[in-house]
Amino acid sequence: MALQLAKHRDQYQQAFDAVLDSAWLVNGPQLAAFEQEWASVSGAKYAIGVGSGFDALLLCLKVYGLGPGDRVGVPAHTCPATAMAVLATGATIVPIDVDRQSGNMDLKALEMVLCEQVLQAVIVVNLYGRAADWINILDVLDHYPNIKIIEDNAQGQGVWSDRVPGGQVGSGNYAISATSFYPTKNIGALGEAGAITTSDPALAERLRSLRDYGNGADRFVSTEQGGNYRLDELQAAFLRVTLLGLVEFNQQKIKVTQRLNHALEGLAACYGNTQPDLIQLPLTHDDGNGHLFVIRTTKRAELQQHLTAQGIQTMIHYPCPTHLQPVLAHLGYQAGDFLEAEAWAAECLSLPSHPMLSDQELDRIINGLDSFWAMHSNLLA
């Protein structure tokens, strides 16, 4: 992160100065310009900047009028923010299990839920920077025209995939789409920020109103219940800088993940037959943006300890499935209800995959995994 900030330091400084000179701090030209640029990069007609990814999801739910009495499908394995946005509206969260390989929403699990209960909306997440199975999911949801579809694209910025209609994730063309510009995302702000993309002019207009106290045509006259979900001028100006580097950032990130993948495939070929479940590699990020490089391991605590001892920092995205979040205990779900999500939560481990990782740092990670795999392999028994 520090390296990335240092790389663009001068441009961020200029952006800061430009806002300071303009003395326009909220709802000004930087926001308007960023929204246009983000819409264009996303292949969307409209972009609406907001204060965070959570705000973006919340407003997507609000613009569809979702609230108490409504049921919203949410992947059982995702960042807790996805479910927390639903919780904030008062709607009921309906967990849907995920796919064993990708961690994204499982098509069969979605079909099962739809057979058993009536949903008013579904949030589909592009987890770890890989497109969900959108074309097939939309095929299924075609049979339920009353269900609103929301894309949680906090992690999928800049992804192109043949699993998506039109090819571009987050375009707002097949679903209203929410993203986050949290600093660790592929497009990070220098603080909190998010955006919504849509191709629907009426939705875009209402979203702009909702993010600003429900203002109608006249300022300070609220025509519906909104709030303060605004994206300020400084963050918009910083985002315009970050956005310029998106293609290069994603390319570098993909290069890092390809190198990791390639090395791990070599290790799997060497040790995999003796310990097939010890380490499972991520699906190749051929059409992803390399946002997170997540392996699965049945010995996560040991591997994490082993890597930490060698100065390699890892993280867990995410340790608790949606249905077992303590704050959702009132929904009455139990361990065993969504087995794939629970397995992901128990086994996932994110390896460092920053685009500016040096060759030596990459070697250290690969050597750390090599020594762990060797230690636990029957080859050494």
Ligand X SMILES: Cc1ncc(COP(=O)(O)O)c(C=O)c1O
State the residue number with the nearest CB to ligand X: 53
DSSP 172-218: SSSSEEEEE--TTSSS--SS--EEEEES-HHHHHHHHHHTBTTB-SS
Q: Quote the least distance from Cβ 125 to ligand X, whole Å.
A: 5
Residues contacting residue 203 through CB under 8 Å, at least 6 positions apart: 46, 63, 176
Apex 319 CA angle, 310 and 80, nearest 5: 130
Host H or E run for residue 46: strand 46-50
Closest by CA position to 150, among listed 62, 61, 90: 61
**Residue 350 lies near ligand X (rule: CB under 6 A):** no
* Residues facing 212 on adjacent strands: 228
**Candidates 18-26, 38-46, 79-87, 350-358; binding stretch for ligand X (CB under 6 A):** 79-87
Kindly tell me which of 52 and 89 has the beta carbon lying closer to ligand X: 52
Kindly tell me which of 89 and 366 has the beta carbon lying closer to ligand X: 89
**Residue 103 lies near ligand X (rule: CB under 6 A):** no
Kindly tell me which of 126 and 267 has the beta carbon lying closer to ligand X: 126
Q: Quote the least distance from Cβ 249 to ligand X, whole Å.
A: 17
Q: Quote the least distance from Cβ 64 to ligand X, whole Å.
A: 17
Closest by CA position to 173, among listed 147, 204, 146: 204
Q: How far apart are CA 245 and CA 251, in angstroms?
A: 10
Are the C-beta atoms of residues 101 and 283 closer than 8 Å to each other? Answer: yes
Kindly tell me which of 194 and 226 has the beta carbon lying closer to ligand X: 194
Dihedral sign, Cα of residue 224, residue 227, residue 229, residue 231:
positive
**Between residue 199 and residue 258, which ones bind ligand X under the rule CB under 6 A?**
none
**Residue 81 lies near ligand X (rule: CB under 6 A):** yes
Q: How far apart are CA 239 and CA 60, in angstroms?
A: 21
**Candidates 1-9, 73-81, 244-252, 276-284; binding stretch for ligand X (CB under 6 A):** 73-81
User: Which two three-digit tokens encode residue 88?
Assistant: 């904030």
Kindly tell me which of 79 and 87 has the beta carbon lying closer to ligand X: 79
Kindly tell me which of 99 and 152 has the beta carbon lying closer to ligand X: 152
Q: How far apart are CA 335 and CA 324, in angstroms?
A: 7
**Residue 79 lies near ligand X (rule: CB under 6 A):** yes
Kindly tell me which of 120 and 177 has the beta carbon lying closer to ligand X: 177
Answer for which of 53, 95, 158, 272 binds ligand X (CB under 6 A) is 53
Answer for which of 42, 52, 199, 322 binds ligand X (CB under 6 A) is 52
Q: Where are the alpha helices (DSSP H) in the chain?
A: 2-7, 9-22, 29-42, 53-63, 80-89, 107-116, 134-141, 201-210, 233-244, 246-271, 300-309, 339-347, 359-375
**Between residue 177 and residue 196, which ones bind ligand X under the rule CB under 6 A?**
180, 182, 194
Answer for which of 19, 125, 267, 341 binds ligand X (CB under 6 A) is 125
**Residue 155 lies near ligand X (rule: CB under 6 A):** yes
**Between residue 311 and residue 330, which ones bind ligand X under the rule CB under 6 A?**
none
Which residues of the chain form contacts with ligand X (CB under 6 A)? 52-54, 78-79, 81-82, 125, 152, 154-155, 180, 182, 194
